[in-house]
Amino acid sequence: TNREDLIGKLDKDGLPFVGSRIAPDDFYYSYYDPIMQAYSLGKFTGKEEAFVDAVRLCGDFYDDKSSVRKACVILRISRNPSVGDKFASRAGQKGIFSLAYKPEDLPFTESGLVPDIVFNPHGFPSRMTIAMMIECMAGKTASIHGLVHDASPFQYDEDKTAIDYFGELLQAGGYNYYGDEIMYSGVDGTEMPASIFFGVVHYQRLRHMVSDKWQVRNTGPVDILTRQPLKGRKRGGGGRVGEMERDALISHGAPFLLQDRFTDCSDKSTAFLC
């Protein structure tokens, strides 16, 4: 196309440059439509700023002429973690970021280290993720001694366990054999009565984020037949208040809330009778 506003945004092949920034409602690709016999532009429908991470041409490797070539444009959106986002360790210990503490309020070690994540110990006994504790000790020894550990299975046995191997390395570095450390309260600076298991673990961010899931509605689009709210977040639908929720509201003695949910915000409608 001869549009000057797209010069510098799209390459000669109509695809975006890798690393370019895309704002909401920006055109980020162009292609020739043989049916309409004209060039079409694709608009970015997201509500957040994105960056082009990769551009790949996809198609049949052997017979390129007969197959329709497709372009895969991978976008990257940067987001800061927020309360409710999902994270997991490599041991499958998934969980959500439940509380954001100020660094000065978190406990600290004798050397002044402050933890990035405080993990509830009740998550270990029933799940039996011993590998995460061993990884914690291995990561700690690797950072102390500058080592790279081999994480292949069946490297240790009952006579020479992984805990003994990493425990001895921790002792050699001047730390507790089992990876525990004395920590001090960030609020009042006093020594905490319990020893805290402290170390280095690899954590990954999972794709389930609050900003993609939050849903709120007062009144909005309704079904033509039943006059009740539509289903689904994308369509601006409502959350279902079912029979059990109704029972809870009755038991709480909240009749006006029931009226609001089941009538005012649901299928209340005006009809003309004659």
Task: List pLDDT tens digits, range 219-265.
Answer: 889 999 988 999 988 898 888 999 999 999 999 999 999 999 999 98
CATH code, 86-205: 2.40.270.10
Q: Would you identify the CATH topology of the domain 216-267?
A: DCoH-like (3.90.1800)
Pairwise CA distance, residues 271 & 33, whole Å: 47
* Closest among 47, 52, 46 to 74, alpha carbons compared: 52
Is 70 exceeded by the pLDDT of residue 69?
Answer: yes
Is 70 exceeded by the pLDDT of residue 144?
Answer: yes
Pairwise CA distance, residues 124 & 93, whole Å: 9
Which residues have C-beta within 8 Å of that of residue 75, sequence separation ≥ 6?
22, 44, 46, 50, 51, 52, 53
What is the reported pLDDT for 57?
85
Confirm if 27 and 6 have CB atoms less than 8 A apart.
yes
Local confidence band at 65 (pLDDT 50, 70, 90 cut-offs): low
Q: Cβ-count burial of 217 within 10 angstroms (0-12 exposed, 13-18 middle, 19+ buried)?
A: middle
Is 70 exceeded by the pLDDT of residue 68?
Answer: no
- CATH 2.40.50.150 given to domain 4-76: yes
Q: Cβ-count burial of 247 within 10 angstroms (0-12 exposed, 13-18 middle, 19+ buried)?
A: exposed
Percent of all residues in the chain with a pLDDT value above 90, rounded to a whole number: 70
Local confidence band at 33 (pLDDT 50, 70, 90 cut-offs): confident
Q: What is the DSSP string of 47-112?
A: SS-EEEEEEEEE--SS-TTTSPPEEEEEEE------TT-EEEETTS-EEE------GGGS-EETT-
Residue identified by tokens 């709480």 is 252
Is 90 exceeded by the pLDDT of residue 128?
Answer: yes
Long-range contacts (CB closer than 8 Å, 24 or more residues apart) made by 43-47: 44/75, 46/75, 46/77
More confident residue, 114 or 63: 114
Pairwise CA distance, residues 240 & 238, whole Å: 6
Local confidence band at 64 (pLDDT 50, 70, 90 cut-offs): low
Residue identified by tokens 């909005």 is 220
What rounded mean pLDDT belongs to the chain? Answer: 91
What is the reported pLDDT for 163?
93
Mean predicted confidence (pLDDT) in 165-180: 96
What is the reported pLDDT for 62?
60
Is 80 exceeded by the pLDDT of residue 98?
Answer: yes
Confirm if 106 and 118 have CB atoms less than 8 A apart.
yes
The first and second tokens of residue 229, run together, are 């709210």
Per-domain residue ranges of the chain: 4-76, 86-205, 216-267
Confirm if 31 and 39 have CB atoms less than 8 A apart.
yes
Predicted structure pTM score: 0.78
Confirm if 211 and 95 have CB atoms less than 8 A apart.
no
